[in-house]
Amino acid sequence: MREIVLDTETTGLKFTDNHRVIEIAAIEIIDFLPTGKVFHKYVNPQRDVPESSVDIHGITEKFLSNKPLFKDIVEEFLEFVSSDNIVAHNAPFDIGFLNFELQKCGKNILLNRSIDTVVLAREKFPGQSVSLDALCKRLAIDNTQREKHSATLDAELLARVYIELNDAREPSLNLSIETADNLIETDFDISLLHKRNLKTKITEEEEKLHKEFVKSLGKNAIWNKVKDGQ
């Protein structure tokens, strides 16, 4: 089963106030395993980025000034997402913004089934905080690099959270489990990825962007382990 774990950053909280998408990150997982295929783009919103938003994600109007418009990356985005499930934290927010951008481009809105990890987390941990940071702490997922919101880092963290929320440890994952203070520490068995023999369709440009993306995540990123076969 192919699913897309997705996160966006925006200029503000409401697309109805003409706020726009400025970053999209999406990770492909198949049977609850990340395949290494990612989609990541910064997007020129053709408007200002309020200081209150910059304080959250650190992405400035100047930085975005030479980035492509959404209409320039829309076909690549739609091809990557295809018709598969979209997993997002507070999915109505991300999908609402993406549909707003799609409509502005004259494209059909996303009709993919959406899976909201906020809803999943509330069912699993009723009455407790279900923010991404809180879930990472509860599930012993290292989020120390998350000083500001980042679609790339948040998408990777969310992929880990989603897998844990689904208890997807067998047969797709083999996890060593140590409990301390009610926290569960997990490690991916990368040998299972190598045994899958999935055909790669990645281009040289995609490979270059992926390497840059992985480098930005630090040494503990999943894909460093995949590359090194650890």
HSE-CB of 85 using CA atoms within 13 angstroms: 15
Can you read off the two tokens belonging to residue 128? 């407790």
89 classed as catalytic:
no
Give the integer Cα–Cα distance in Å for 43 and 25. 11
- 45 DSSP 8-state letter: -
Reference 26, options 118, 95, 106, 108; nearest CA is 95
Which of 19, 40, 89, 149 is catalytic? The answer is 149
SS3 at position 35: strand
Sign of the torsion formed by the C-alpha atoms of 79, 80, 86 and 91: negative
Active-site residue list: 149
